[in-house]
Structure 1
């Protein structure tokens, strides 16, 4: 353990050294790019050289007078390729400090086999990004709970409750979702109620599939038939071969649940083939084929009707018991590291604490709570919004801050700066795959800042202009809208004057593009230092027996893809 702690500290030292040379670029505000002449201050090569080398895999000998591509005399960038190679080496993948998700799951499960429970289809009620995140993270959380022998989960910053609902419905965990927004918690509660309808219908289908499998039916023989019918004691029912019966009301409620979270699902007041096909697609995971009509209850013998009635009552009783024991409870509260969880949750037992993309200081607060609360057996935290982190060595801030978290980095009084933390939110993988930065809006804002400096006195770059670019038809229109938003006299400048600024700086737009690509290149290194600080914090705790950084998600789908994992009891 001591060796592992020293390894993390050495990696922190390496990233610190790299960022001490390069952080000035990340801290340059894009809005002030032209007013502060950022390109000429920090870069001594043409923009084309930067753009051609960012993402390059070529090798080049390091010149003796440079450090990470920066001239040791002028502190300006003179070797882009060297910088790019150094950035790759100082990002988390290059540092060799992360576990893969599969490695973590294997370590948690040990010799235990995976559960054969069917997995809910999340694509029906989540977008692809959220579906990927929820399925990937929930399996890890379920394994943590099983390893720690706990049945409760606390989801901090639970938002709309997708992760909480899935953990409850799929893995049978008692989940408490805590969010500071009452709108989120109320919406999550209603959404969870509707998703339970979806879950019950889906699980009925999977029970039938398993039963058919035990009867050695081939996939082509697995038959599901849904059709409206009337008769006997069951009016307005939908007969589902192999599943018993599902009421027309339950069918509609499942469709409502899906339509609430997926606008592509349309509701129909009357039964029709399109509605039945949609509901069938929700239930079916295998080949769906029509079957001969099922015998209605009115034509069954008294003995058979009594048997079906008894089975339905037993099934409903089981559903009620399952609902009572497997629940998701949304709670509205603003949580800090000092929050007493037992005051929020009366039934609290030992639990796993999780956070999926918790913003700013909530991520470090999650780790502080894990350390401080004996009832928390494990933690799985994926943070985001690094620009909202408070920094201890920011002279403008006082009190407990979110960064740095570890004693090791606090002893070095490390300070990133807001612009650098903003740069850490950029997504290198997406940019590398052609999902580039929206340069024109950034260019408009930077030139507007020149106009404000020249004609309206010194103006702070943080002044909010708002989303006027999406509504503007031209640069002149953009400036007019921005001046009105800032409550400044717009008649001071003619349309020609405004256009002259655009035409004067347009040839230098390539500089801004290249400079932002440098920021994108540095982003993983800044994020890496923030996450290494959190990992180091857990390794400094005496009662933390296991901690790791784990890549949970595909960075193309979810750029904030790393989780900080910690356990207080670890047995291999």
Structure 2
């Protein structure tokens, strides 16, 4: 136990030492790329100088190639290798692969349940996630002897619908939206009726028809879950047959949003009726932090926790550390997916940066609602973008600007596009570093509270499901 805590703390300390000088880069806003001169101010000069002399296509191709290098032969290689060396990796100690989690469950006396493939009622991403996760949750449910599996923030309840129909596990999906819960329950009933036709059991690599477990095993409840929620009480309300029995819960969540992930871990820690937790987090930008007013947060001020309870950090070891909202938003981006699809940023990114130049020069005191510009459809030119933004934001300046001024801006766009693309990719290298801090902080919190059977698990293919890590803990 002490050895695990020491290793996690050492890992965190190493990452934070590397990340802290780069927090201004992680917390910058691409909107201000031109007005704040991000290229010159936020990146190491040797790196920018080495890229300045290259054509865009050559520089981007070098970036794709550098992601696979092990030895550093250029400033770009050094940047990428250094970032990747500060990301969590499966180490068979506290970060496991899916197969290693199966081995742990077997060592705890459990039997690994087959995966269940569902061909309808959910998109391919969700189907893949449910298939990958449902068998492991069912296995953990059995090994920890829980009365009921409870999924918080469960939305449509796909995970536990599969769990109850395939493995006969009593299951409760909890979501805060009562209307959504009623619709999800209707959807689950439709899935149940067609289960024999749409579900297949994966056994030794082959698909077999799976029988449907009968009975009212999967139910829904509307509740806003916090760290104070009595989950066993919610289960008793939904399953009156448990009223006089001792209820134990396996608490799960497939992409729990914002603070719901940390609150799930706090429930596990403080409520002995929670036998295990199997949580996949999401939406790090919606976590609460005690953010310093001056910590680079451009559009979100006073974005702090309530009653001293924050989503980050959770561990005592990181108490007082701030990441920043933009850094946490960056942590939810996927460099694996960008690499796989060779994705470059949309031109709208430079259009928005140019618009910011105009606003700062001509309307310096304007207060803008950033979200409104998300309505702008794909534009072929900056003039199209500017015209739509001028109308949406009611700036009333486009017709008053001389044509020569706009032409000069267009020239600047041509010169800055390469830098913006490369800046976007270089900054993206920090995404998994920041996510590693958030995940290791949660793991360390569980260890600090005396739990030994706690692990990070790389559960999903990060290209198919970028938030691919889960936290698994057994009491």
Which category of TM-score, normalised to the shorter sequence, fits these structures?
0.7 to 0.9
Contact 1:468–1:482, Cα closer than 8 Å, also in 2 = no
**Structure 1 position 345 matched with structure 2 position 235:** yes
**Structure 1 position 327 matched with structure 2 position 217:** yes
2:297 is matched with: none
2:314 is matched with: 405
**Structure 1 position 184 matched with structure 2 position 171:** no
Distance 1:147 1:284 in 2: 25
Contact 1:26–1:423, Cα closer than 8 Å, also in 2 = yes
* C-alpha distance after superposition, 1:270-292 (max 9, x if no partner): xxxxxxxxxxxxx9869xxxxxx
1:105 is matched with: 102
| Aligned counterparts, 1:370-385, within 5 A | 370-385=268-283
1:532 is matched with: 440
Contact 2:105–2:111, Cα closer than 8 Å, also in 1 = no
* C-alpha distance after superposition, 1:4-33 (max 9, x if no partner): 111101001011101012222211210101
Distance 1:196 1:512, change over 3 A: same
Contact 2:110–2:143, Cα closer than 8 Å, also in 1 = no
Distance 1:200 1:433, change over 3 A: closer
**Structure 1 position 391 matched with structure 2 position 391:** no
**Aligned Cα root-mean-square deviation (Å):** 2.8
Distance 1:372 1:131, change over 3 A: same
1:93 is matched with: 89
Contact 2:379–2:385, Cα closer than 8 Å, also in 1 = yes
1:4 is matched with: 4
Deviation at 1:55, TM superposition (A): 1.6
**Structure 1 position 156 matched with structure 2 position 152:** yes
* C-alpha distance after superposition, 1:398-432 (max 9, x if no partner): 5211000111111xx21111111111111111111
Distance 1:495 1:190, change over 3 A: farther
Give the one of 447, 463, 475 matched to 1:556. Answer: 463
Distance 1:465 1:451, change over 3 A: farther
Distance 1:83 1:461 in 2: 35
Give the one of 355, 358, 375 matched to 1:448. Answer: 355
* C-alpha distance after superposition, 1:45-65 (max 9, x if no partner): 24466642452515238xxxx
1:27 is matched with: 27
**Structure 1 position 59 matched with structure 2 position 56:** no
Distance 2:84 2:197 in 1: 48
Contact 1:11–1:95, Cα closer than 8 Å, also in 2 = no
Distance 1:457 1:179, change over 3 A: same
2:296 is matched with: none
* C-alpha distance after superposition, 1:437-463 (max 9, x if no partner): 433121111111111111111456763
**Structure 1 position 364 matched with structure 2 position 288:** no
Distance 1:473 1:60 in 2: 38
Distance 1:516 1:94, change over 3 A: farther
Contact 1:391–1:404, Cα closer than 8 Å, also in 2 = yes
Distance 2:5 2:305 in 1: 29
Distance 1:462 1:515 in 2: 25
2:394 is matched with: 487
1:229 is matched with: none
Contact 1:535–1:564, Cα closer than 8 Å, also in 2 = yes
Distance 2:20 2:393 in 1: 36
Deviation at 1:328, TM superposition (A): 1.7
Q: Structure 1, unaligned stretches of length 5 or more?
A: 62-77, 211-218, 220-282, 287-317
| Aligned-partner SS, 1:374 | coil
**Structure 1 position 121 matched with structure 2 position 30:** no
* C-alpha distance after superposition, 1:454-491 (max 9, x if no partner): 11114567632332442545321211211222122143
1:222 is matched with: none
Deviation at 1:343, TM superposition (A): 4.3
| Aligned counterparts, 1:463-474, within 5 A | 463-474=370-381
| Aligned counterparts, 1:168-179, within 5 A | 168-179=164-175
Equivalenced residues, count: 438
Give the one of 449, 452, 469 matched to 1:545. Answer: 452
Distance 2:194 2:403 in 1: 58
| Aligned-partner SS, 1:464 | helix
2:298 is matched with: none
Distance 1:461 1:17 in 2: 36
Contact 1:31–1:461, Cα closer than 8 Å, also in 2 = no
Distance 1:487 1:36 in 2: 24
Distance 1:112 1:388 in 2: 36
Contact 2:232–2:273, Cα closer than 8 Å, also in 1 = no
Distance 1:60 1:357 in 2: 36
Which moves more between the two structures, 497-506 or 419-428?
497-506
Contact 1:120–1:199, Cα closer than 8 Å, also in 2 = no
Which moves more between the two structures, 3-12 or 476-485?
476-485
Q: Which protein shows a greater Rg?
A: 1
Distance 2:458 2:329 in 1: 21
Give the one of 427, 440, 451 matched to 1:519. Answer: 427
* C-alpha distance after superposition, 1:173-217 (max 9, x if no partner): 1111111223431221111001111124568x99xxx9xxxxxxx
